[in-house]
A and B are shown apart, each in its own frame.
Chain A
Amino acid sequence: MIVAYTVLAERKVLGWIQGRIGPNRVGPWGVLQPFADLLKFILKEDLVPDKSTKFIYFLAPLVALTCALLPIVVYPFGPTITTVDWSFLPYGLGDGITRLPLTIAQIDVGVLFVLAITSVGVYGIALAGWSSNSKYSLMGGLRSSAQMISYELAMGASILGVVMLAGTLDLNGIIYAQITSPFRWFIIPQIIGFVVFLIAAFAETNRVPFDLPEAETELVAGFHTEYSALKFALFFMAEYVNMFTVSVMCVVLFLGGWYVPGLGRIFEPGSIPYAAVSHVAFIGKICAFLFLYIWVRGTLPRFRFDQLMNFGWKFLLPVALGNVILTIIVVYFLNS
């Protein structure tokens, strides 16, 4: 659903930015457009290139979408809700319901988990480019894997500062650390890390201005040139889910996740209205980031590939490492 409406929002906002109307035929304001598109994707003929490596050709879009969807299990969608006492249930079954965390799986290395799964997502693109046996696909696949490997480093290094300030790798733990910290949101002490993370995130998700792997003017459509119908739709969905993932990470790490300052005075923390408002705030922050993505796409031109690599290795990575060292020094002096 989020994917569908991000696509629609993207087309609408791009329309406004470029002085057009955008989709407006299917349903009022085009709200049913994504479903029409999906139906079209399903009904189109599925072409498989003759000389492709069949097994990997089928595997690649599945890998891409699976790796995009997997991080959802660790997102902190809201605070822990304390409901009525369910502890009368046998075998401790009630504990999970009495204090209901709005996260599917609580693992204490959530940040690393998201990074690991997204790094596996590179395979989807690289294998897609290789297996379609076409020069445009191969170039697109190579470019995108090179780009994702390079920017992953800067991204990881930019997160380190937040992890050091929070002292935990757990996504919920990072949010609680932000609530108790004097700045409330880590974007203030970690502004360098935030900017580096944002730029690296744009590159990781292959979006404008770093959408070299699918630069239409030189590579037709990059790694998914040879993909059609539902397989193409899977890649398309993976891209938008990745945007969502990166936005969630940005919100959780730098903008306090679901936390709304001052909300604890209106509702009691742990109550259901508190959780509901927090959850809405969380989604709202994510939407703001998704809007930023679209906005940037509508306004910025594309980089050249050597510029992209130079920027990633010679500027972004040193800045991120410098931020890490700075944070180490500050944290050391604050603790001593």
Chain B
Amino acid sequence: MIGTALFFLFAGFAIACAVSMVYQKNPLYSAVSLVGVFVALSCIYVTLAAPFIAVVQILIYAGAIMVLVIFVIMLLNLDEDKPLTRLRYLYAVGGGLGLILLVQTMFIFYAVLRAPKDPVDTSQTAGKSLSIGQAMYTEYLLPVEIVGIMLLMAIIGGVILVRRLEPGQLKLVVDSELDKRHEEEEKDDYRIAF
């Protein structure tokens, strides 16, 4: 009973924040609304006896990613969004995607209604850190490693993209290029001479 009430409270909060995120004209308000969605979702995870996932949700999404987003918005000082006059066809695409999402949701409802009712045992350690760690490093080891390598690639890519060549270094690179060309020219001259 209390669980249901809490669920509707947090779900309502999440939906309200999500709607506000889409409809806000100011990008910063949108970002703050998205944080609200994350917090509400993590509250729902807590009521589902998965504290680890709830905490990680806040730690990573709200605490790290959204802070960076807000950071960028603050730095760029974006203006309020103006309604798009071009790219009208995106409305049709968005509508289509929304329809697909709605059908999917309906299907999930249908599947849940058809599924055999198994009472969830909250004493089971499904959402606890120990079971998650064991599952990650035994059953799902390969996906974890792949994700790790992809993240490493992303980090290296980011570093390379923002790297600025020092003036001295740049000169060195150019100089060595020039030297190479010079040598080749000299070689050519040498051959011609003989």
A interface with B by C-beta (< 8 Å) = 53, 55-56, 59, 107-109, 112-113, 115-117, 119-120, 122-123, 126-127, 129-130, 138, 141-142, 145-146, 149, 152, 169
Contacts and interface: CB of A to CB of B under 8 A. Distances in A.
A115 B59 contact: yes
B58 A116 contact: yes
Task: Summarize A's interface: helix, strand, loop or mixed.
Answer: helix
A107 B58 CA distance: 15
A109 B55 contact: yes
Interface residues of B, number: 23
A130 B39 CA distance: 21
13 contacts: A53-B26, A56-B28, A107-B51, A109-B129, A115-B59, A116-B62, A119-B62, A119-B67, A120-B63, A138-B74, A142-B71, A146-B71, A149-B64
Contact of B63 (A56, A107, A116, A138): A116
A142 B67 CA distance: 11
Nearest to A113: B55
B161 interface: no
A164 B14 CA distance: 35
A64 to B, nearest CB: 14
Given A108-B128, A120-B62, A138-B74, A145 B67 contact: yes
Q: Which of B29, B55, B58 has the most CB of A within 10 A?
A: B55
A119 B59 contact: yes
A208 B22 CA distance: 41
B56 interface: yes
Given A109-B128, A127-B70, 5 more contacts: A53-B26, A55-B29, A56-B32, A115-B59, A120-B62
Interface in B10-64: 26, 28-29, 32, 35, 39, 51-52, 55-56, 58-59, 62-64
B92 interface: no
Contacts of B64: 119, 149, 152
Nearest to A170: B129
Interface of B: 26, 28-29, 32, 35, 39, 51-52, 55-56, 58-59, 62-64, 67-68, 70-71, 74-75, 128-129
B63 to A, nearest CB: 3
B35 A108 contact: no
Contacts of B71: 126, 142, 145-146, 149
B58 A108 contact: no
Contacts of B29: 55-56
A111 B59 CA distance: 11
Given A112-B55, A138-B74, A169 B67 contact: no
A55 B28 CA distance: 12
B169 to A, nearest CB: 19
Contact of B129 (A108, A119, A120, A130): A108
Nearest to A167: B130
B52 A122 contact: no
Contacts of B74: 126, 129-130, 138, 141-142
Contact of A126 (B58, B67, B129): B67
A114 to B, nearest CB: 9
